[in-house]
């Protein structure tokens, strides 16, 4: 019955599923109106302890009761899971939001049923602290109301960007989806380099984190082109210029482009 339906149901309560649940609760949705399915009993108990009132169900029950069904599982799990949920999805007709990397709405609709309304999402891990950004693509059957629902869901954990071409999701995956790991790698490298230059680990980490965070905030708030901001810091003949020269001579820009192309290619591979 309609009154028994849940506002949202999450198949999978890993880091991203949990981040989205937390975002919904922060936005004012009652835990009692949110359901989740999680096969790991210890994990499920921890989630319910964090959000008392959250409804724990099996995946099929969840698909039959949720107005919005969020598939927050690894892409390799999706074909079998979707086929298993197809009957319930067809009967209950929820909006399906998938956060599985690489899996297109056409393939997902083929597994769930041809009339399924689908929004594909690529969030990133800063969603865990409400500072994420998500690329979104709506399948042709998704309505304007569906788009608003998905925007509220993902907007609860950060900014959203809508795409008109689903092929662009591979670029989003390579840019913002995988991007936090690139930044963490830079933080690791700078911290280790600072230690080799004589700083203790705590000082090196504090300086690096504040520098990366402050530079990012400055780039966001100033509105200036990053190349202009870099030029302002790079005095001719100075220390920064010497470091930038090493980066450029080592082919940093080409290396970043190659790495992101590899991530996009893997996204396509996951989609089959």
Q: What are 22-41's pLDDT values in tens digits?
A: 999 999 999 999 999 999 99
The 3-state DSSP class for residue 30 equals coil
Tell me the Ramachandran region of residue 93: left when phi exceeds 0, alpha when psi lies from -120 to 50, beta otherwise. left
Question: How many CB atoms are located within 10 Å of the residue 86 CB?
Answer: 16
Handedness of CA 24, 1, 77, 105 (dihedral sign): negative
Other CB atoms within 10 Å distance of the CB of residue 16: 22
**DSSP designation for 77:** G
- 179-270 belongs to which homologous superfamily? ProC C-terminal domain-like (1.10.3730.10)
Instruction: For the chain, give the percent of residues with pLDDT over 90.
Output: 93
Domain boundaries, the chain: 2-166, 179-270
- What's the CA gap between 149 and 144, in Å, rounded? 9
Res. 270: pLDDT tops 90: no
- pTM, whole model, 2 decimals? 0.90
What is the fold of 2-166?
Rossmann fold (3.40.50)
Can you tell me the distance from the alpha carbon of 49 to that of 45, in angstroms, rounded to the nearest whole number? 6
Query: Is residue 135 within 8 Å of 121, Cβ to Cβ?
Result: yes
Q: Which residues partner with 6 through β-bridges?
A: 66
DSSP assignment of 121-157 equals EE--GGGGGT-EEEEEEE-TT--HHHHHHHHHHHHTT
Q: Is residue 186 a contact partner of residue 212, using CB atoms and an 8 Å limit? A: yes
Sheet with 34-37, side-by-side order of all strands:
55-56, 34-37, 6-11, 66-71, 95-98, 117-122, 132-138, 158-162
Report whether pLDDT(1) > 70.
no
The least confident of 13-22, 169-178, 243-252 is: 13-22
> Do the first three CATH levels of 2-166 and 179-270 match, i.e. the same topology?
no
Largest Cα–Cα separation, the chain: 73
Rounded to the nearest integer, the mean pLDDT of the chain is 94
Residues 71-93 have pLDDT tens digits of 999 989 999 999 999 999 999 99
| Under 8 Å between Cβ of 67 and 96 | no
Q: How many CB atoms lie under 10 A from the CB of residue 128?
A: 18
Question: pLDDT tens for residues 90-147?
Answer: 999 999 999 998 899 999 999 999 999 999 999 999 999 999 999 999 999 999 999 9
Q: Residue 227: its pLDDT value, please?
A: 96
Count CB-CB contacts under 10 A for residue 129: 11
pLDDT (0 to 100) of residue 2:
46
CA 25 to chain centroid: 18
Over 90: is that where the pLDDT of 257 sits? yes
């Amino acid at each position: 019955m309609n009154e028994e339906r849940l506002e949202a149901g999450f198949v999978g309560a890993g880091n991203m599923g949990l981040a989205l649940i937390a975002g919904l609760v922060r936005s004012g949705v009652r835990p009692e109106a949110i359901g989740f399915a999680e096969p790991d009993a210890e994990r499920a108990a921890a989630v319910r302890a964090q959000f008392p009132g959250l409804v724990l169900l099996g995946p099929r029950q969840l698909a039959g009761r949720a107005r919005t069904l969020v598939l927050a599982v690894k892409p390799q799990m999706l074909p079998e899971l979707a086929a298993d949920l197809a009957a319930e999805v067809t009967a209950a007709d929820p909006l399906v939001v998938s956060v599985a990397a690489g899996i297109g709405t056409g393939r997902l609709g083929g597994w769930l049923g041809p009339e399924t309304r689908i929004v594909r999402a690529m969030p990133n891990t800063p969603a865990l602290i409400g500072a994420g950004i998500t690329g979104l693509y709506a399948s042709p059957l998704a309505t304007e109301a569906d788009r608003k629902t998905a925007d509220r869901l993902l907007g609860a954990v950060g900014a959203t960007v809508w795409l008109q071409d689903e092929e662009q999701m591979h670029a989003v995956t390579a840019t913002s989806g995988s991007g936090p790991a690139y930044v963490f790698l830079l933080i690791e490298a700078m911290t280790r380099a600072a230690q080799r230059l004589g700083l203790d680990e705590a000082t090196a980490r504090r300086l690096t984190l504040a520098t990366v965070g402050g530079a990012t905030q400055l780039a966001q708030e100033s509105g200036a082109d990053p190349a202009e901001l870099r030029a302002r810091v790079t005095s001719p003949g100075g220390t920064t210029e010497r470091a930038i020269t090493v980066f450029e001579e080592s082919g940093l820009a080409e290396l970043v482009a190659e790495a992101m192309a590899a991530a996009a290619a893997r996204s396509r591979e996951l989609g089959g």
